[in-house]
Chain A
Amino acid sequence: MLAGLLTAIAAAVAAWAGVGATAAAYVWASPIGAQLAIGADRSSAAFLMLTGVSFAAGAAASGAVRSPRAYFALWSLLQAAVSGVFVARDLVLFLACWDAILAPLALLMWHWGGTDRRAATRRLVWYWMAASVPLLTAIVALGVGARTFSFADLSGYRLAEGSQVILAVLFLAAFAARLPLFPFHAWLPRAYVAAPLPVVLVLSSVISKTAAYAIVRICLPFFPRGMADVAPYAIGLATVGTLYGALLATRQRDTRLLIAYASVSQLSFIALGAFVATPDAVQGVLVASISHGLVVAALVLLAGTLARRAGSFSFGAAGLGSRAPVLTSLVLIAMLAAIGVPGTSGAPGELLILAAAFARAPGIGALAVLVIVLSAGYCLALLRSVLSGPGDVRHADIGWRDRALVIPLLALVVAIGVAPRAIGDLAEPAGEQPGSAR
C-alpha cells in the first residue's frame, strides 16, 4: 500500500514540477507516424495533479485488500495509463493509453469487486470496447488524411467541413461512452455498485475526466467547425443527460447509486460546457472537472465511512447528527460543494458553464439551472438520512485515518472555491488555444 501511495504522491509532485515543462518527443514507430510525444501544459498539469491526488487517496483507502501485491501492481498500471492520456501529444500514444486503461480497471473490478462484479465488469468492458471502434477508425482516418498523428501538427491542419463533422461524431461517440453521456451510461450504475470503493473513487474522479479532457483537447481544436455543426444535438443530449441523472439521483436510496446518478448528471453538465465551447465555458469545464474530481473523491470516501457504520450503503436513519459531528460536517461540506454553493470549488465552474449556456440558448440555461435545484434535492435527501433519527451509541465519529484522507480533499475544495483563479490561471493558456502545446 505504501508503495502505491508513494507512487501516487510522487506523480502529483512531478505534475507540479512539470507545469509548463517543454514537451518531449521520442521516435516510437516512425513508419507508422507514431511518436512518443508527451507534454504537460497547464491544463494537463491540473488533470495530472487531480490524478495524483485521487490515486493517492484511493491507494490509502484500499488498506486491507486481498492479495495486495497484484492489486497495487494493477493500481499503478491504471495510474500510468490514465496519466498517459493526459500527457500524450500524439494520437497513437493517446489511443494506446486510452485503451490501456481498460485492462487494469476491468481486472481490478473483476477480482476485487462486490457481488455483481462479473456482470458489471462485462458490461463496462463491452461498452468501452465498442466505443473504441469509432475512435480507432477516426484516428486512423485523421492520421492518414493529415499525414501526422502529432497534436502540434494537427492543430495547424484544417480539414474540410464534411470530414470534420464525421470525425467529430466518431470521436464524440467514443468519448461519450466513457464520460458517460446520457444514452451511453448503462454501464455506470452497476460498475459503481460492483467495483471496490477505491476503484469507484478513481473511476468517477479521474477516469471519467479523461473523456472531458479529450473533448477539450482533441475535438475542439482539431474539428472546430465539425463541433459547431454537431453542437446543437450534443448540447441537447448533454442537457437531457444532466436532468435525467439528477432526477434519477433524487429517487435513489443507496449512497453508491446516488453518487452514480449524480455523477451522470454532473459529467453531462461538464460536457454541456465543452459543447458550448466558448473560452469561458472551456475554462468552466476545466474548473468543474477538477472540482467534481475532488468532491466525488471525498464523497466516495465518506460513503464508505457511512456504510461501515450503518452496515450497508442503503439509506437509513443513522442519527449521526449528534453522535458524530465531525463526520456530519464533512458530509455537509462535500454536499455543499456538490451542489455548487459559492465558497466551494463547485461554484466557479458551474457559474462559468451556466453563463455560457445562457448566452448560447436561454432555454438550455434555464434547464441547467433546474439541475442545481435537483442536486440540492438529492443532497438534502442524503443528509437527512445521515443526520436524522435516533442516535446509536455504536456510531463513533469518523476515524483518524479517514479524517486524514477526507479533510485534505475538502480543504482543497474550499481553497479552490475561495481562490478559483488558482486553477483558472492554469487553464487560461489552454483555454485560449488548446491545441498549441509544444
Chain B
Amino acid sequence: MTEAELQAAAPALILASSGVLLAAAALPGRVRLGALAWLGVAFALSAAAAAIAVGTGEAAFGGSLARDGGSVFFSALIAIVAAAELTLIAADRRHARHAAGGEVGLVLLSAAGAALMVAAADLGLLFAAMALLAVPLAVLTGRGRSGARYALLSAAIAAVTVYGVALLYSATGETGYAALGRATRNPLYLGGLALVLAGLAFHAGLAPFSAWSPATHERSSPAVSVHLAVVARIAAFGALLRLAGATRSGEAPVDWEASLAVLAAITLALGALSAIGERRVKRVFGYLSLAQAGAVAIAAAGQAPSAVAFYVTIDAALTVGAFAFVASLRSDEPTVSDLAGLARRRPLLVAGFGVVLSGLFGFPPTAGFLAKLYVFEAAARAQLLWLVVLGAIATVVTAVACVRLLLACFAPPRSDMVAPARARVATALVLAAAVITIVLGVAPGPLLEAAQAVRF
C-alpha cells in the first residue's frame, strides 16, 4: 500500500481493524463489556481524528477510493456517531448482563463499511462496502421476527444492488465511477442506476424501501437503532451523492431530482403521519427518523451536498439524544404512558429531551430550525417549491408527535410506577445532544463552513 492509499483508507482501516480486534477480544467470554465498549469509543474517536487529520487529497487505488471533502466530512461524522453508539452500549446495564461483547466489534465493523461507502468511487467497492455495513447490522438487529425480517430484506436488497451493479458494468464495461460519465443513455444503464438507487434508499431509510424500519427500531437496542437511523443513512446519502455527482455530467446525464423528490415526499408524509398516533416510544422515533430521512432527501434532490452534510450532522446529534433518552428509561419497550411522571422525577433528563424534541421538529433557536431552513432553501433553489410546502406541513405534523411525547413526561405519575432507573451516562448523552443542538443553532458558523467543503 502506498502512502496515499493508506491515507485514503485510514478511517475505514482503523474502524475495521479495531472492530476485528475487539470482536476477537470478546471471544473468551469473561471480558467486561464496559471496558470493551470504552476501548471501542477510543478507537472510533481516533478514526474520526485520523479522517480529519489526513484531510483531502488524491483518490487512491486507481481512483476507486476518493479522499475529497465529502468523504472526509462523512467518515469523520460516522466515526463520531459510532463512538456515541458505543457509549450507549457501555451505559446499557441490560446488555451488560448477557455480555454481548461481540456487539462492540460488530458496530465498529459496520461503521467501517459505512466509512468505505461514502468514499467508494467504484461500483464493486460500493457493493462490498454496503455488504460490510449490512451484514454486521443483520446480526446486531438479531433476535426475533423483526431481526429476521431485516436480515431477509437486507439480503434481498443486496441482491438487487448487485444486479444493478452488473447492469451498470455491462452498460459501461468498467466498474469505476469515471466510466459512468462516458456511458451512453441506454436501458441497461438507467435500469442499473435505478436498482442501485433502490439499494441505497433501503439503507437511507427512504420509503417505500423502509418497510423494515419501524419494527426493527422497536426490537433493537438504542445503540443499534442509532446505527440504523444515522450511520447507515449517512453512508447511503454519501454514496448516493457521489453516484449522482458522477452520473449528472457526461454523455448521458441523469437527472436524480425527480426520483429523489418523489422518494422524499413519500418518506416525509409517511413518517410524519405515522408518528402522530403511535403509542410505542421507539416506534415514534423510528417514524420521526423516517421524516428526517425525507428531509435529507429533499436536500439531496436539491443537489446541495452542503445542506445534506449540515442536516445529517444535526440529525445525528438529535437522534443520538432521542435514543439515549430511550436508553435511560427502565422499560425495554416503553409506551407513551410509561413516560408519565418523568418530569418530576428526572427534570434534567426531560429538559434535555425537550430541547432534542424541539430540534427534531425544527423549533428555533435549536439547530434543527436552521437545518430545516437550509434544506428548504436548497429545495427552493432547485425550483422544488412544492417540496418546501410539503416539508413545512410535515414539520408541523411532526411537531404534534414531538409535543405529545414531551407532554406525556409531564403527566402525573401512576401509582403503580416504579422509580425510573438511574442512567447517568445516557442522561449525559441526552444533555450533550441538547447542548450541541442549541450551540449549533446559535453559532452554526464553524459547522456550516465545514459543510461548505463537502463536494463530490
Contacts and interface: CB of A to CB of B under 8 A. Distances in A.
Interface of A: 27-34, 92, 95-97, 99-100, 103, 125, 129-130, 132-134, 136-137, 140-141, 143-145
B102 to A, nearest CB: 42
B370 A129 contact: no
A184 to B, nearest CB: 16
Contacts of B393: 133
18 contacts: A29-B370, A29-B444, A29-B448, A31-B448, A32-B373, A95-B373, A97-B364, A99-B364, A99-B369, A100-B365, A125-B403, A133-B392, A133-B396, A136-B373, A136-B376, A137-B392, A140-B376, A144-B380
A134 B389 CA distance: 8
Contacts of A145: 380
For the complex, would chain B's binding face be called helix, strand, loop or mixed by DSSP majority?
helix
B377 A140 contact: yes
Contact of B358 (A34, A95, A103, A132): A103
Contacts of B448: 29-32
A92 B373 contact: yes
Interface of B: 306, 358, 363-365, 369-370, 373-374, 376-377, 379-381, 385, 388-389, 392-393, 395-396, 399, 403, 444-445, 448-449, 451-452
A144 B364 contact: no
Contacts of A143: 377, 380
B363 A144 contact: no
Contacts of A133: 389, 392-393, 395-396
B444 A130 contact: no
A140 B388 contact: yes
A136 B376 CA distance: 9
B388 A99 contact: no
B388 A141 contact: yes
A138 B81 CA distance: 35
A119 to B, nearest CB: 13
A96 B392 contact: no
A144 B387 CA distance: 14
Contacts of B365: 96, 100
Given A103-B358, A133-B389, A137-B385, A33 B377 contact: yes
Contacts of B369: 96, 99
Nearest to B385: A141
Contacts of B385: 137, 141
Given A133-B393, A141-B388, A32 B374 contact: yes
A100 B399 CA distance: 14
Given A31-B448, A141-B380, A141-B385, 11 more contacts: A29-B374, A30-B445, A32-B370, A96-B364, A99-B369, A100-B365, A130-B396, A132-B396, A140-B373, A140-B388, A143-B377
Nearest to B403: A125
A140 B380 contact: yes
Contacts of A92: 370, 373
Contacts of A97: 364
Contacts of A27: 445
A357 to B, nearest CB: 34
Given A34-B373, A95-B364, A29 B445 contact: yes
Contacts of B451: 31
A100 B355 CA distance: 13
A334 to B, nearest CB: 36
A108 to B, nearest CB: 14
Nearest to B394: A133
A32 B377 contact: yes
Given A92-B373, A100-B365, A132-B396, A144 B381 contact: yes
A28 B379 CA distance: 21
Contacts of A103: 358, 363
Contacts of A130: 396
A134 B388 CA distance: 10
Q: Which of A33, A34, A97, A137 has the most CB of B within 10 A?
A: A137
Given A33-B377, A144-B377, A137 B389 contact: yes
Contacts of A125: 403
B412 to A, nearest CB: 13
Contacts of A30: 445, 448
A7 B452 CA distance: 40
Contacts of B364: 95-97, 99-100
Contacts of B445: 27-30
A95 B363 CA distance: 10
A129 B399 contact: yes
B398 to A, nearest CB: 11
Contact of A129 (B358, B376, B396): B396
Contacts of B363: 99-100, 103
Contacts of B444: 28-29
